[in-house]
Structure formats: structure tokens, C-alpha cells
Amino acid sequence: MRSLLILLALLAAPLRAEEVVLGLSQDQVSISTNFDGSEIIIYGAIKRETPIPMAEPLQVIVTVSGPRVPVTVRRKERRLGIWVNVDSVNVDAAPSFYAVATSAPWNEVISDTEDLRHSISIPRAIRSVGAPMNVAEPQAFTDAVIRIRTENGLYALKEGAVDLRESTLFDTAIDMPANLTEGDYRTRIFLTRGGDVVSMYETSIDVRKVGLERWLFNLSRQQPLVYGLLSLAIAIAAGWGASAAFRLMRSG
């Protein structure tokens, strides 16, 4: 009887027709004094237990998200000839870095409902619970975060950047700029059909400072007084060195 129940349970359980087998060119990024950015190659295959469905083409979405931190956004206005802060909104959590790559145009790979459910697009990845009642157009503050970070290379939507071959093999390249924040970078791969998510895989990329950068970072957090005195000593030494070099040039 028990064996029969187990067999019925297995038959009733839905089979995962398609799922991701993923690879990364590197799962760790080291930030050193001469770090000027990195490129992560994300590649994989789609494992199937059934033949490829022919009704709707398969699409792939890849997202890489840096640590989520709160952000205070201020709006300035010119009053009496000077620029002053007039409004501010606290965005509860915004990724320090966020890249989205797709295998087709955005409106072909995901529906609004699924985007809302999984928080895939850049606006959905930013959580802003609410703004003060006296602030007009609160959405403009979130839009400002997206615009500024896009201009700085921290946010990107790359439509058609995922190369999907025969609905089985895929790869894409994610550019990671020099101004990265330390932490675990959440990496997600979505398989979609007809705008619906049929499978999702998640891993992470470790981004850490190394060498002198790591030592200075730890010193600033663990011994701020020593870090401050060291910074002051370096500034004094640099100033004295520049002055001595200038006098030497004049005397020559």
C-alpha cells in the first residue's frame, strides 16, 4: 500500500520540463588598486525531460544584482540665485549594480505580471515603499536613481545580448565597471515561454577588495582613528614632497 502511495505521488508531481545548467567564466571578482572593471561570461545549457515545445519560442533572461542598500534622493531648486534642497525621498533598497540581458526584445521575453512577481526589470528591482505626503511626483526620485546609475555604467538593460542557440545553449557577457561595491552579486537566469517564467536558476558572484585596497578598507572600519592619522600623515608627507620638489626646480 505504501509503495502504491509513493508511485501515485510521483505520477502526480509535475515534471520540470526545462531547467538551467549554468557556468560562469569566474565566480569571484578581485578589486585591487589598478582594477578598471571586469567582464563576466555567463553560459549554460537547458536540460530537458521532454521534447522542445514548438508552440512558443524559448527565451532567456540573465540578471546580475549587486548589494541592495538604502539611498536618499534629494531634489534641488534654484531659489534667490542659489540651488537648495527642497524635497528628499528615502529609497528603501536599490542595487548598487544591476544588469539585465535578454535573448530578445524586452516585451517579447517577459510579461508585466511575471516581471512584478520576480522583480526582474530595473524599476522592479528597486524597492521604494513610500514618500512623504508633501512630495510631488515621488516616482521621479526612483527614476533619478536609475538615470544617474545608468549614466555611470552601474545599471544596464541589454536586449538581445543573450545568444541562444537551438533553444538549448546560451551565453552572454556582463560588463562590471571599476566602481563596484563589495559583496555577493546575485545572479539569476530565467527561462520564459510566451512571457511566462518556466524555470529559474540562481547563483552568486563574490566581489571583494584584495591587497592594499583590502588592508585600507579593513583599517578604516576596524581602527578609524589609526586610519585617520595615517591619512593625515600621508597628506603631510605628500605636501612636503611636492614643496621640496618645487623648491628644487626653482633653484635649478
For the chain (252 residues), the mean pLDDT of every run of 10, in chain order, is: 40 58 70 69 84 81 92 70 66 90 95 95 83 64 87 93 90 86 90 92 81 52 62 67 64 60
**pTM for the predicted model, two decimal places:** 0.72
Q: Tell me, yes or no, whether 217 and 123 share the same domain.
A: no
Within-domain flag for 221? yes
Domain CATH for 30: 2.60.40.1930
Say how many CA atoms lie within 13 Å of 74 toward its Cβ: 6
Same domain, yes or no: 175 and 232? no
Torsion sign over Cα 64, 66, 69, 72 = negative
The β-bridge relationship of strands 28-31 and 196-209 is parallel
**Are 199 and 238 in the same domain?**
no
Overall number of domains in the chain:
2
Same domain? 78 vs 101: yes
Domain that holds residue 220: 210-252
CA distance 100 to 155: 8
Contact present, 60 and 189 (Cβ < 8 Å): yes
Q: CA-CA distance, 158 to 176, in Å (whole number)? A: 13
Q: Say if residue 235 is in the same domain as residue 130.
A: no
* Alpha carbon distance 246, 237 (integer Å): 14
Spatial separation of the C-alpha atoms in residues 67 and 95, rounded to whole Å: 5
**Is there a single domain that holds both residue 204 and residue 220?**
no
Q: Is residue 93 part of a domain?
A: yes
Per-residue pLDDT, 62: 95
Are 194 and 216 found together in one domain?
no
Q: Are residues 149 and 195 in the same domain?
A: yes
- Same domain, yes or no: 127 and 166: yes
